[in-house]
Amino acid sequence: MANSTKAQAACLDLCRKTTALGDRISVRMLEYLTMVTKQPHGLDVLVHDFLDTCEILFSIEAGLGECIRNAQTFPGDVISELSKKFRVTQADFQLLDQMLGRFLENERKGAMGRMRRGWGRIFGDNDIEKMITAIGRTRESLRMSALMFKWRLGNEKIENELGIGYTGLAAALDRMDTWAGVARSKASEHGSQYRPSSASQHCGIEGHGVSTSQQAPLPPLPWAERSSSMNQDPLNPGLPPDLRQYGGHNNHTAGSISSNERYHSGTAATLKADPFSMPRWNPRNTAGADGANLKIALISAVRGKNHKLIEQLLDRGISPNTGPDHLTLKEAVANCDAEAVRLLLLFGADPNGTDRDGVTPLFAAVEKSFLAGAVPLLKYGADPNFTRGPDNETALAAAAIANKVNFAHLLLIYGGDPNQLTATGETLLSSAINKKTPKKFIDLVLDYGADPDGKSREGKTALFEAIQNSRVDIVTSLLDHGANPNLPGPKHMLWPATYQTPCLQVLLAHGADYKKCPGIMELAASVNNIESVKVLIKAGVDPNVKKDSVYTPLCTSIRDNRKDIFDLLISNGADPNTPASEHPAFKCITHNRLHFLPPLVAAGANLSSPKGIVEIAVSVNNMEALNWLLEQGMNPNDKNPMGHSPLATAVRENRVEMVDLLLTRGADPNVRGQDWPVCMAVRNPPILKLMEMAVVANQLESVKLLLAAGVSVEGKNGGVFSPLTSAIREDRKDILLGVALNAALVTFLINEGGADINAPGASRCPSDTPVFV
């Protein structure tokens, strides 16, 4: 099953390449037809056969694509046979392309080229006949395969696949057939679509009339009458079959990717509209043409799609330019009425007229996705760059914003400016880029000369928008068309690309300079994008460079608890002693990331520099970290740069468990921190009793400090032990002073401390005195 699906996908890819080649040949063939003054014998037959073959290919491509999307598979022999047919078709198309290349070269060489072509005819150059035979044989071999897909899909889905080259060539061919009087039977059946009725063929009044011999009929609308499905849509008799999706009766828009036009890079052709060469008809009667009732009647006829009445009114001299309140040409476009558009233009409607909102018929055609109406408007001189006022968009801008590739291509062909700004100040490229924009649309605008580095009013470039929308394909296209990867727009492109790893890779591969973005790796770590970190490391970015002169990638990975990024940075040279807002080891303590400390120490982190890591553990109440640090042999008396000791901080924060742990691990209560620990202890009732313990512990200086701090000399530990009785009980020669002993402490307690010698203590009965001899 998997092999069958893979073979079917490969077959579809081969089909697409073949149709793409056919579309390119259509463009070259159209170029030759417009250049040559006298067609070689048999060329007309060859063009018709070629178009029929292309149409068959498009139907097969549409069918294969639909089957793959619906997970439908064909037998292996069917796929194999189709692939063989596509290869044969490709070979025939390549020969045809080479032949057209020779023809075009001869035409460009002028007289010498035409002479060479003439000698070829004299000596039997029968390339065209050979190609007719080959293309005919190929067409017949593909026809049966196409019927299967037409049965599955129906004509309309097939028509949606037709390429711009094919449709353009079909339009030119139909026009040539009509002028030669050999239009297909459908064109003759619906001749009123292309030629005015007898009412319009009369000469005008003297001095204004134009004879029918002088005026050729209006050429058929592009791509008209090339499919039998035309007869199935009575509401749009002139709508091209392959563009029926753009009519007012279908919600499918040109902006969807599935219906977007094929565009082949390098086929940027331009045409200059020549309105004066287009057919014009003067009314045969202008008497009473200014009547308001007649103008209202014309508007009603346009809205009602009454083509016969429209023609009669225009032929009586009613002006097709009815004013901004009810612009008839725009009304016809809004109705998607190609015949009404043709008649109004034929009788002199202004293609650049605007309604009261400043909307032109061409802009309305873009809004309605009415391509069949846009073509005659452009031929009659509609300006794709025209806008009335700064708040109105041009037709080209509207097509670009909506990703209507067909319209954008058509408008660019007829002189649309690819470097214009939209009403909001965006470039065409920037306004067109979104998550669903076809890459070929961007290629189209770029190939027509759009500046890839152009900036909007806000300073944004198309490259920035492509990165923001995760469009690595468009990023690649812009860079391939010369976009500068180091141009800020509004910031260096590597900054937003950090969020989009594929875009980051493409930018670095195209010369983006990471040295212009110091701290780029910290940003990648901050947004938890390990893939971007890997790409930057591979590109040679230093993992120790700080962002904003503060933040390091390593500290950021600790802060965000990203062990994978932490390990990646450590293994690629990140310095465990380079500080950010704090040192990495301190960051592990303050952010409760103790599990990062062992590998950090193993990588060379110095826990003793700067000093104060034990005090930090106490200050953030991280008992687990405090235990770990003391077990690693850290000095419990080390002060931080502000002079705070761990014990003093523990006393200040009233953390009794930490006080006990620190004293147990050798913290010196006589080492001053923020203040003397014993002095700070008296401010905390649970620690007031430490005065008694200080005496027992032979801490004479502590007694003095406690008394200086205001502790009562009569204060008892547990309600029993007084300082004086404890000093006597312990028989401390260096503390006691009695009859035969050193009297320093007793004298101090009695004389300076004010101890009451009659106050009972632990060793005194009611009749005892405090001093025992």
For residue 271, tell me if it sits in a domain: no
For residue 119, tell me if it sits in a domain: yes
Give DSSP secondary structure letters for 452-491. TT-B-TTS-BHHHHHHHTT-HHHHHHHHHTT--TT--SSS
Reply yes or no on whether the pLDDT at 664 is more than 90: no
**Spatial distance between the Cα atoms of 269 and 288, rounded to a whole number of angstroms:** 46
Instruction: Decide: residue 193, CB within 10 A, 0-12 exposed, 13-18 middle, 19+ buried.
Output: buried
Reply yes or no on whether the pLDDT at 340 is more than 70: yes
pLDDT band per the 50, 70, 90 thresholds, residue 293: confident
421 three-class SS:
strand
428 three-class SS:
helix
pLDDT of residue 191: 36
pLDDT of residue 211: 32
Q: Which residues of 572-594 are buried (b: 16+ CB within 10 A; e: fewer)?
A: bebbbbbbbebbbbbbbbbbebb
For residue 174, tell me if it sits in a domain: yes
pLDDT of residue 744: 53
What average pLDDT does this structure show over 630-656?
88
**Spatial distance between the Cα atoms of 163 and 17, rounded to a whole number of angstroms:** 12
Tens digit of pLDDT for each residue in 579-618?
999 999 999 999 999 999 999 999 999 998 899 999 999 9
Q: Which of 178-192, 195-209, 240-254 has the highest mean pLDDT?
A: 178-192
Q: Poorest-confidence range of 102-116, 125-139, 491-505, 584-598?
A: 102-116
Instruction: Decide: residue 140, CB within 10 A, 0-12 exposed, 13-18 middle, 19+ buried.
Output: exposed
Examine the fold and report which residue of 195, 218, 238 is the final residue of a domain before the chain moves on: 195
Residue type, 773: V
| Among 62, 48, 49, CA closest to 15 | 62
Residues linked to residue 427 through DSSP beta bridges, in sequence order: 421
**Spatial distance between the Cα atoms of 514 and 739, rounded to a whole number of angstroms:** 85
Q: Poorest-confidence range of 155-164, 651-660, 691-700?
A: 691-700
For residue 9, tell me if it sits in a domain: yes
**Is-contact 413 270, C-beta < 8 A?**
yes
Q: Which residue has the higher pLDDT, 231 or 697?
A: 697
Taking the CB of residue 773, how many other CB atoms lie within 10 A of it? Answer: 7
First to last CA, the chain: 108
Give DSSP secondary structure letters for 391-414. TSPPHHHHHHHTT-HHHHHHHHHT
Q: Which long-range contacts (C-beta less than 8 Å, at least 24 apart) are formed by 383-388?
A: 383/352, 383/415, 384/411, 384/412, 384/414, 384/415, 384/416, 384/417, 385/415, 385/416, 385/417, 385/420, 386/352, 386/360, 386/362, 387/358, 387/423, 388/354, 388/358, 388/360
Provide the token pair at 209: 């009339």
Examine the fold and report which residue of 195, 221, 249 is the final residue of a domain before the chain moves on: 195
| Among 289, 291, 328, 262, CA closest to 22 | 262
> How far apart, in Å, are the Cα atoms of 119 and each of 103, 106, 112?
13, 12, 11
Sole residue written with tokens 């097939």: 158
Tens digit of pLDDT for each residue in 84-104?
888 999 899 999 888 888 888
Reply yes or no on whether the pLDDT at 350 is more than 90: yes
Provide the token pair at 712: 């009562």
pLDDT band per the 50, 70, 90 thresholds, residue 280: confident
What average pLDDT does this structure show over 202-218?
33
Residues linked to residue 455 through DSSP beta bridges, in sequence order: 461
What average pLDDT does this structure show over 686-705?
51
**Is-contact 478 446, C-beta < 8 A?**
yes
pLDDT band per the 50, 70, 90 thresholds, residue 195: very low
**Spatial distance between the Cα atoms of 537 and 539, rounded to a whole number of angstroms:** 5
Element (H, E) at 185: helix 185-189
Based on its alpha-carbon atoms, the radius of gyration of the chain, rounded to whole angstroms, reads: 45
Q: Which residues of 479-506 are buried (b: 16+ CB within 10 A; e: fewer)?
A: bebebbbeeebeebbbbbbbbbbbbbbb
Instruction: Decide: residue 534, CB within 10 A, 0-12 exposed, 13-18 middle, 19+ buried.
Output: middle
**Spatial distance between the Cα atoms of 531 and 526, rounded to a whole number of angstroms:** 12
**Spatial distance between the Cα atoms of 262 and 164, rounded to a whole number of angstroms:** 6
pLDDT band per the 50, 70, 90 thresholds, residue 31: confident
Residues in CB range of 340: below 8 A, 6 or more apart: 302, 305, 307, 310, 332
**Spatial distance between the Cα atoms of 59 and 145, rounded to a whole number of angstroms:** 9
**Spatial distance between the Cα atoms of 279 and 237, rounded to a whole number of angstroms:** 20
pLDDT of residue 711: 56
Instruction: Tell me the Ramachandran region of residue 184: left when phi exceeds 0, alpha when psi lies from -120 to 50, beta otherwise.
Output: beta
pLDDT of residue 528: 95
**Spatial distance between the Cα atoms of 184 and 174, rounded to a whole number of angstroms:** 8
Tens digit of pLDDT for each residue in 221-277?
333 333 333 333 333 333 333 333 333 333 333 333 333 334 444 457 788 888 888
Tens digit of pLDDT for each residue in 45-85?
888 888 888 888 888 888 888 888 777 777 788 888 888 88
Angle at 120 (CA atoms; ends 115, 126), nearest 5 degrees: 145
| Among 408, 295, 338, 287, CA closest to 171 | 338
What average pLDDT does this structure show over 25-50?
82
**Is-contact 376 235, C-beta < 8 A?**
no
Q: CATH code at 739?
A: 1.25.40
Sole residue written with tokens 């002189």: 415
**Spatial distance between the Cα atoms of 372 and 246, rounded to a whole number of angstroms:** 9
Examine the fold and report which residue of 137, 160, 195 is the final residue of a domain before the chain moves on: 195
How many separate domains does the chain show? 2
Q: Which of 125-134, 271-280, 494-503 has the highest mean pLDDT?
A: 494-503
CA quadruple 524, 525, 529, 530: dihedral positive or negative? positive
pLDDT of residue 213: 31
For residue 554, tell me if it sits in a domain: no
Tens digit of pLDDT for each residue in 355-413?
888 899 999 999 999 988 999 999 999 999 998 766 788 999 999 999 998 889 999 99
Q: Which residue has the higher pLDDT, 701 or 492?
A: 492
Provide the token pair at 194: 């292309």
| Among 514, 512, 531, 524, CA closest to 551 | 524
What average pLDDT does this structure show over 198-211?
33
For residue 138, tell me if it sits in a domain: yes
pLDDT of residue 203: 32
**Is-contact 574 544, C-beta < 8 A?**
yes
547 three-class SS:
strand
pLDDT of residue 192: 35
Instruction: Decide: residue 71, CB within 10 A, 0-12 exposed, 13-18 middle, 19+ buried.
Output: exposed
**Spatial distance between the Cα atoms of 199 and 282, rounded to a whole number of angstroms:** 11
pLDDT band per the 50, 70, 90 thresholds, residue 1: low
Residues in CB range of 668: below 8 A, 6 or more apart: 637, 647
Give the chain's mean pLDDT: 76
pLDDT of residue 759: 63
Q: Which residue has the higher pLDDT, 651 or 743?
A: 651
Tens digit of pLDDT for each residue in 411-453?
999 999 999 999 999 999 999 999 999 998 999 999 999 999 9
**Spatial distance between the Cα atoms of 321 and 337, rounded to a whole number of angstroms:** 17
**Spatial distance between the Cα atoms of 738 and 750, rounded to a whole number of angstroms:** 12
Q: Which of 108-117, 195-204, 209-218 has the highest mean pLDDT?
A: 108-117
For residue 736, tell me if it sits in a domain: yes
**Spatial distance between the Cα atoms of 715 and 719, rounded to a whole number of angstroms:** 8
pLDDT of residue 169: 75
Q: Which residue has the higher pLDDT, 671 or 203?
A: 671
| Among 94, 92, 113, CA closest to 102 | 113
Half-sphere exposure of 732 (CA within 13 A, CB side): 19
For residue 714, tell me if it sits in a domain: yes
pLDDT of residue 757: 59
Which residue range is the domain that position 102 belongs to? 2-195
Main-chain phi, psi angles of 710, to 5 degrees? 100, 10
